Structures are given as structure tokens and as C-alpha cells.
Structure 1
Amino acid sequence: MEAVRPRIVKLIVVISEGNKTTTREQYDLSDQIKAATKENHFRAENTQLMLSYQKGQITLQQYKVLLFSLYEIYKALEEELDRNSSHPAVAPIYFPQELARLESLESDLEYFFGQDWEKRVIVPAATQRYKQRLRKIGQENPELLVAHAYTRYLGDLSGGQVLGKITQKSLGLSSKEGLSFFSFPGVSSPNRFKQLYRSRMNSVELTEEEKAAVLEEAVEAFELNIQVFDDLQKMLSIATETHQSRSDVGAARFTASPVLQFAVGLCVALATVGAAMYGM
């Protein structure tokens, strides 16, 4: 797929001081990322699967598989951030105590699957591609991790409480056990923290070439997600047809169909980014 070139936006701020009016050009990276990914975000947000999640149409089995996918993505992202924590582009936006999701995901997985949950992890090719991309840029172009960290963490932070409540209600859970992913105990005020994060990210010193690459990577992050949605739609259709053709066999029930469980579950994982990105 040909890479989608991001739109570089120029913001003009008008400043009035008495009878004098001046203008200042701003090139804040956070604003540019938001503008560059606007179209991609809209496409991801309005898929049928994404809309279904926002309506609260999620089952326990789907949520369990979602956790596997999130685990693989965040394992790659956070290990690369840890490894590159002293990199000049990564250091300003490195907040492991406030943002790290891996430990919470491990807790959720253990709650649902027991201590041997690692033996049961399964993810699709699309998630593998996402993970491989994170590993590649972590090794070759660490500054590009800025794009993925921003879209994932601030998206999850923005929508975490809402999505957590939707998930708890949909699954009929009496407590918040198994929902640790949506909680950020290290962040007392999400809005203030997001302001701090954006300020830190905007302070990262990048060449014009590096900045353009970060914007392209933010677009690529959404494109990877959209590709996953497309793959999941195909998998879901195939699984549904298989289920219908075996409707007279008890073993063909939805709860026994790992392909269908997997397909729907992973798309919920990606909903975190789509639903919350523009609450950032």
C-alpha cells in the first residue's frame, strides 16, 4: 500500500496588545499530528466494528481476546521505549510510572486466564505487523516512537474511563477486576497530564526531515489499524459463514469459534485508539 503523505499544517496565532496586532506561526507537533491523521481517524472510527463497540456490543470472550492483542502491542512499544529512554526524542515523553500499560494488562490476563495465561496468547497477522513495525523503528529510528506513544497513550488516557465503564456494563462485571487496562492510577488529572505530555512532545528537537517522518509515522499507525479492521472484517465473514454451515453441530457455537472470538475481540482493542484520539 502506498504511504499516505500527511498534511503539514501551519497555525497562525493572532496576538493583540493594545492597538497592536501581530501574528506568530506555530508548528506544534501535537497539532500537526492531529491534523495529519484526521482523515485516517475518521475512517477508522466509522467502521462497523468500531461503532458496535461504542454501542456496548461486546462479550466476555471478545474482551479476553482483546487483552491478548493489547498485550502484544504494548509489550513491543514499552520495551522499545525502555530501551530508548535516553534518546533525545524519547526522553521528554518517557513516563513509565504514569502511562505504562503492560503490568495492568498482565494483571487482567491473569484474572481471566490464571497464572499460565502466557501459554494461551494468540494474535493475528495484523497485530504481528504492528508489533514488528514498533520493533523496527525502535532499533532503527527511535524518534518515530513518539508518534506511536502519543496516539496510543493519550488516546487510551482520554477514553479509558468511558471505555472502562462501557466494558464493565457490557460484561456485567460486579467489580473493576479485569479492567486494570483502563485505569491510570499514576495520573491524578488526565487533562493536566495531557497538557504536560503535549508540551513535552512539542519541545522535542527534530529536524524538518525528522518531523515529517514522525507525521508520516502517525499516519502509518492509523493505516496499520485500518488494515487490521479490513482483515478482521474478512475473518469475521469467513467465520460467520462457517458457523452458519455448521449450525446443526453443537461444536460450531460462537463461544467455541476461536477465529470469530479473535476477530471481534481484536477490533475492540483498536477501538481504544479510534474512540479516544480526538479527546486528546
Structure 2
Amino acid sequence: MDPRSGVSNGSGPGYEKEENNLSPEDLSEMLAAGTKEVHEKAENTQFVKDFLRGRIRKELFKLGAVALYHTYTAMEEEIERNKDHPHFAPLYFPAELHRHEALARDIEYFYGPEWKSQITCSEATQRYVDRIHQVGQEDPVLLVAHAYTRYMGDLSGGQVLRKVAQRALKLPPTGEGLEFYQFDAIHSAKAFKQLYRSRMNELDLDVETKKKLVEEAVKAFHFNMEVFEELEEIGKTIQEDVLDAGMSAHGEMGGDISKCPYYAAKMAASGGTAYFGQLVMAALRHPTGQVLFATWFAALAGLAAWYLM
């Protein structure tokens, strides 16, 4: 079967390959081990701590979507440029995964039809975008690290949050404003992730190239953290009267890092469904807290992708 055919519905035979007998030399396992430390640092950024305290600024919600739009536009431009490259072609699933058009529709919903004239690419996002273009043009195999980090995270965490965000933001049930979370061509996220990881592990790469991919994944974490830090600084300039009341620092979250969206996603992936259900129910009792939860988990989930199904 051609790598780019027969996978649109997310339920065909091509999705059922299990990831048994993984070894430490498999790329997915190397990425998990190699990014563990930076992943923990990402969990402990001030942005994430503020996130846990429920300090919610609506403007940051929109700016986050803009940052994601620029990031995915750059990544998908380079993916298209390199779709026939032997080290990326098996991972080319545009119908299933590409997000920039969905993000454009979400931004139009929030900013209006003239949205293109109202948004700009921030400095931190531009550095991320520049790196993606650089690897796409100079060393395309490194796109694997960027694509896997982002897309597998979107499939792992974003799906839980669509309904939560819809309720918190009182968005239409038809999905306007939340199309980023919706993967219409994938019917089974778990099966698709298994397929994607197995395709990645089957790439004909030597050990040195795999190490380079781990290094690039670490860089992707750092670029994301820089965007979070930039948003944190922007948040400091927003007047307090535009803050929504979120979860108290001494409330149910209590600043406990184990309640972090990264952690919740990992718990769900490892079978901790009861824990995750409790966390979601807690969030549902704080409607305004759902806004930040829903928006930024989509971005944070990308950083947690190595630890998910």
C-alpha cells in the first residue's frame, strides 16, 4: 500500500499495526528518553504555573491561535516541499493532519474577515518559524522531529478539549472557532498514532541521524517554551479588569504540578482514565478555567507527545 493512500478514514487495515517489541534503538523510544528532561522543564515554566492557577486573559487565547497558525503554516509549507523525500514521505498525511487551514478559519471566527491585517508573527514565533524553514530547506529529515512533536500531541490532547472549549467559550455546536481540534479524516486517533509511530520507526536512519532528530526535538521544546514566555510577558501588560476569574492558587488545583495538562494526558495514555475523568470534572466546575485549559493544552500537548500513545 502506498504510504499516502488508503488511510483517510482512520479505520482501515493500515491503522492496525501494533507497536510490539519496541527497542531502545527505535526512533520513538529515543525521542521519549532524549526529551524527558526538557519536557519536565516545560512543565515548570511560569506560564504553565500561571495556567494551573487559572489566571486567564482572553487576548492570550487569540494570540495563542495566531502563534500556532504561523507555526503550522511554516511546517506544512516545508512538508509540501519535502513530501517525496525518502525520509519524510512515509509520514506525509496532509488530509489527516494538516492544521493551518483549520487555524485560519478559527482566527477568522475570532478576529473577523479582515483577520490577516490584524495579526502579526511575534518575535518568538518567528524564531520557531525560521528554524522550521531552515531544516526544511537544508536538512529535511529533521522535519520528522517537528511534525511528530506537533501532530501527535494534537491527536493526544486536543481531542479531549473540543467540547470543554465549546462549553467554556459558548461557541456554536457546529464547531466554529475550534476547527483546530477536529480531525475529520481520522476516525481512530489511537490507531493512527500507532501507524505514525511505526512508520517513523521504520525509516531507514542510522544512529547518528536519530540522535540529530532527538536534538531537534529538544530544540522544538525550547522554541515552544520561548513562545510561552513571550505570552507570559504580554500577559503582564494586560489590565487586570480583562482577567476572568479562574482557578484559585489555593483551590482544587492548588498549584500541584501533577494536575498539569501534560500529566493528565500521560495519565490518560497510561490507563489512568479515572484520574483524568476527575480532572476534567474539576475543570467543568470552573467554566472560565476551561478557556485557558482548552486553548493552551493544544499547544502543550505537542510538547508531551513523546509520552503519549
How does the TM-score come out when normalised to structure 2? 0.69
Aligned mates of 1:228, 1:209 — CA distance in 2: 29
Structure 2 match to 1:138: 136
The CA deviation at 1:174 is 4.1
Report the CA distance between 1:96 and its aligned residue. 0.4
The partner residue of 1:114 within 100, 112, 115 is 112
The SS at the match of 1:87 is coil
**Mean Cα displacement is larger for which, 175-184 or 106-115?**
106-115
Q: Secondary structure at the match of 1:85?
A: coil
Q: Which moved more, 1:131-140 or 1:32-41?
A: 32-41
Superposition deviation, residue 132 in structure 1: 0.2
Give 1:186 shift. 0.8
- Aligned partner of 1:270 in structure 2 is 299
Deviation at 1:177, TM superposition (A): 1.3
Q: Please identify runs of 4+ aligned residues in structure 1 that moved more than 6 A.
A: none
- Once the two structures are TM-superposed, the CA of residue 152 in structure 1 deviates from its matched residue by 0.2
Deviation track 1:197-252 (CA, whole Å, cap 9, x = no partner) reads 00001111112221111110011111122233333334434x15xx47xxxxxxxx
Answer yes or no: is the 8 Å Cα contact 1:58–1:171 preserved in 2. no
8 A Cα contact 2:97 2:151, kept in partner: yes
Separation in 2 of the partners of 1:133 and 1:32?
22
Match of 2:205 in 1: 206
Greater CA radius of gyration, 1 or 2? 1
Residue in structure 2 matching 1:32, options 15, 30, 33: 30
| Structure 2 residues without counterparts, runs of 5 or longer | 1-20, 244-291
Q: CA deviation at 1:140?
A: 0.1
Aligned-residue CA RMSD (Å): 2.7
Match of 1:76 in 2: 74
- 1:213 partner amino acid: K
For residues 44 and 72 of structure 2, the distance between their equivalents in structure 1, rounded to whole angstroms, comes to: 24
Is contact 2:148-2:305 (8 Å) kept?
no
Q: Are the aligned partners of 2:149 and 2:305 in contact in 1 as well (CA < 8 Å)?
A: no
Q: Alpha carbons of 1:54 and 1:31: their partners in 2 closer, same or farther (altered >3 Å)?
A: farther
Change (3 A) 1:208 1:35: same
Give distance in 2, aligned partners of 1:25 and 1:64: 41
Comparing 94-103 and 162-171, the one that deviates more: 162-171
Structure 1 runs not aligned, ≥5 long: 1-14, 16-23, 245-252, 256-263
The secondary structure found in structure 2 opposite 1:163 is helix
Alignment-mate amino acid for residue 200 of structure 1: R
**Amino acid corresponding to residue 225 of structure 2 in structure 1:** I
In the other structure, the counterpart of 1:191 is 190
Identity of aligned residues (%): 46
Letter paired with 2:302: V
- Equivalent residue for 2:225? 226
Distance 1:118 1:232 in 2: 20
Q: Once the 2 structures are TM-superposed, how far is the Cα of residue 75 of structure 1 from its aligned partner? A: 0.2
Once residues 276 and 54 of structure 1 are traced to their aligned partners in structure 2, the CA distance between those partners, rounded to angstroms, is 20
Could you tell me which amino acid in structure 1 is paired with residue 206 of structure 2?
A: T
Stretch of structure 1 that moved more, 267-276 or 216-225: 267-276
Q: Does the C-alpha gap of structure 1 residues 225 and 25 become closer, same or farther in structure 2, counting only changes over 3 Å?
A: closer
